[in-house]
Chains A and B, each alone.
Chain A
Amino acid sequence: MNKKILFTLPLLITLVLFGYFFWALTKPGRDPKILPSVLIDKPAPEFNLTALENLGVPGFSRADLTSNGKVSVVNIFASWCVPCLAEHPDMVKLGKRDDINLYGINYRDKPEDALNWLNRNGNPYHRVGRDPKSRTGIDWGVYGVPETFIVDATGTIRYKHVGPLNPGDLDNKILPIIDNLQAQK
């Protein structure tokens, strides 16, 4: 009797493994294209980005993430990026708040295109820095636009969202994290 159980053990282990693999492959919300960022809870990289001319807001550097004691939302966007337009209303909402910094990194874009895009859709950002060769993007581990980072007042990256903010993402993901970080202060 005891031995019979022992005989089925390999089969059981295999079935459990298969079950686990099946679950891991089919669980809802699984997107193999989204990578976990290694920069979470690490200090934001050094950078210094020039302003987009004629936009009327300054460029920004790493120092601007820590200068005023506010939580920062750093959004990577480009005029050629269609999903950026989809999440733009959410950026407008965030831009209206004065208790956070909303910074935009204009990724691999021509300045005139970026300016047109922001003039047409409205500029929600408090500061916009140009990253024409994506060097700052590489330092931030950016591999697709849009991406949205939440950086706390000490300049530590706390959250990264890859791809556009879908309906509900702002209320269910971004805002609670901002609230949480503000409460920690």
Chain B
Amino acid sequence: MRGLFLFAAVLLIFTANSNSVKAFEPDEILDDPALEARAREISKEVRCLVCQNEPIDSSNADLAKELRIVVRERLVAGDSDDDVKSYLSARYGDFVLFRPPFNTATFLLWFGPLLVFSVGGVGLIFFYRGNKNLKVVKPLSLEEEARFNQLLDEDKKTKSSDSGETS
């Protein structure tokens, strides 16, 4: 019974915590549910500049709150989602967006892995092309196999007789 109470208490603490993660406050919520939903989506993609690893959606920093309001104001003014994001990145740089946009500064970030992969691939092709005389392993012929087994047997016999002598 005590264990059950403890479990319930722990559960309560955890659910209470998960509620407090939602940092947005009632006074920020827009009347239009569609706009509000877009605002929430954008807020999850925007970095809080104060905490830096938290989206403004779940941050309690004053600046995050103000940015949430700014996001909503831009949406009400008729901005598209991309407009809102570029409004913020014009002020704070691409760092404010969790998803780095594709541009000249970030193309290496996007294409770097592909680049490394293709260099490796080309390297592999050249490696195998350059080894045309690479010895292909042929399976043993019947005679070879018989001889091989014979050798193995002999080896076993000598080994077992060795161990027999010592023990």
Contacts and interface: CB of A to CB of B under 8 A. Distances in A.
- Chain B contact residues (Cβ within 8 angstroms of A): what range? 10 to 19
Interface in B66-102: 66-67, 70, 89-93, 95
B91 A138 contact: yes
Contacts of A10: 120, 123
Contacts of B63: 134, 138, 143
Interface residues of A, number: 19
A3 B126 CA distance: 11
B95 A133 contact: no
A143 B89 CA distance: 13
Interface residues of B, dominant DSSP: helix
Contacts, number: 40
Closest 3 CB pairs of A and B: A143-B49, A38-B93, A141-B91
Interface residues of A, dominant DSSP: loop
Given A35-B93, A135-B70, 14 more contacts: A10-B120, A10-B123, A37-B93, A38-B89, A38-B91, A39-B91, A135-B66, A138-B67, A139-B91, A140-B91, A141-B91, A141-B92, A143-B50, A143-B63
B66 A138 contact: yes
Interface string A1-30: 001000001100000000000000000000
Interface string A66-85: 00000000000000000000
Interface of A: 3, 9-10, 33, 35-39, 108, 133-135, 138-141, 143-144
Contacts of B52: 33
B123 to A, nearest CB: 7
A144 B51 CA distance: 10
